[in-house]
Amino acid sequence: MAEGSFPLLGDKFPEFTAKTTHGMKNIPGDYKGKWLVLFSHPADFTPVCTTEFVAFQQKYNEFRAMNTELIGLSIDQVFAHIKWVEWIDEKLKVSIEFPIIAANDALAEKIGLLHPGKGTNTVRAVFVIDAQGVTRTILYYPQEIGRNMDEIVRVVKALQTSDKNGVACPADWPKNSLIGDKVIVPPASDMDTMKKRKAGEYENFDWWFSYKKLQ
């Protein structure tokens, strides 16, 4: 992975140790065996980021039900994170249960989270890291737009479904306009398989576009 760039999909996420609101953490090593959603935010005590932290916390049980942990990150100092979490709890009545990394510029640059045109604010990014520490999805948002938590939940669920069943998930899954909550079977890669698909092995639009209901 080049310095100052995002890790590529399929790469091991780069290991680092950092101070967090829950003490020192090794990322992603401390989460081995669990999926991890690591998300960066531009700054503490900003309106969009505050709405996101509340929204992430409100989805936290859904993530944990999928063996997935959350961890936030910005280059604010840890005392600022702690004060912000306290403010959210006191003013908005939401207790943030997941840790927040207090990154320095070198760490933020290492994983590509500093935008050269945006001063020292970290960008609004999401990394979905699987239980083996592999980077599976990267989402990158402008500072002006908050993230959609339902989509991040959907991404984790779709990746886990794909891994477990050897299938692909269609657009808007599990509410696809063509096949609903069904999943796509890998395309035929030889003539015999193609003939089985044409003979009705699965539901299909054609032999190269077959799909099925998960059991």
With respect to residue 187, please indicate whether it lies within any of the assigned structural domains: yes
Write the single-letter amino acid at 156: V
| Domain presence at residue 93 | yes
Residues 6+ apart with CB under 8 A from 39: 52, 56, 70, 71, 72, 73, 124, 125, 126, 127, 147
CATH number for the domain spanning 212: value is 3.30.1020.10
CA 156 to each of CA 21, 26, 69, 190: distance values in angstroms, whole numbers, following the listed order: 24, 22, 11, 31
- Residue 169 designated active-site: no
Residue 126 shares a structural domain with residue 204: no
194 is a domain residue: yes
Looking at the fold, whether 175 and 83 belong to one and the same domain comes out as: no
| Residue at 10 is within a domain | no
Q: What is the pLDDT of residue 75?
A: 83
Residue 29 lies in a domain: yes
Q: Give me the catalytic one of 27, 37, 49, 149.
A: 49
Do 41 and 122 lie in one domain? The reply is yes
pLDDT digits (tens, 9 = 90+) for 143-188: 889 999 999 999 999 999 999 999 999 999 999 999 999 999 999 9
Whether residues 78 and 21 share a domain: the answer is yes
Whether residues 147 and 95 fall in one domain: yes
> And the tokens for 166?
């050897």
Given this model, what pLDDT does residue 119 score?
Answer: 53
Please tell me the total count of domains within the chain: 2
Is the model more confident about 55 or about 4?
55
Q: Count of CB atoms within 10 A of residue 149's CB?
A: 19
Residue 105 pLDDT: 63
55-95 pLDDT, tens digit per residue, is: 999 999 999 999 999 999 988 899 999 999 999 999 999 99
Residue 7 lies in a domain: no
Specify whether 109 is located in the same domain as 182: no
**Residue 131 belongs to domain spanning:** 16-164
Residue 123 confidence (pLDDT) = 77
Query: Per-residue pLDDT for 45 more than 90?
Result: yes
Task: Please tell me the distance from the alpha carbon of residue 139 to that of residue 167, in angstroms, as a whole number.
Answer: 22
Instruction: Answer yes or no: do 120 and 172 share one domain.
Output: no
pTM greater than 0.85:
yes
Quick: pLDDT tens for 87-132.
999 999 999 999 999 976 666 666 666 655 555 567 788 999 999 9
149 shares its domain with 173? no
Q: Reply yes or no on whether the pLDDT at 30 is more than 90.
A: yes
Q: Are residues 148 and 190 in the same domain?
A: no
- 3-state class of 71 per DSSP? strand
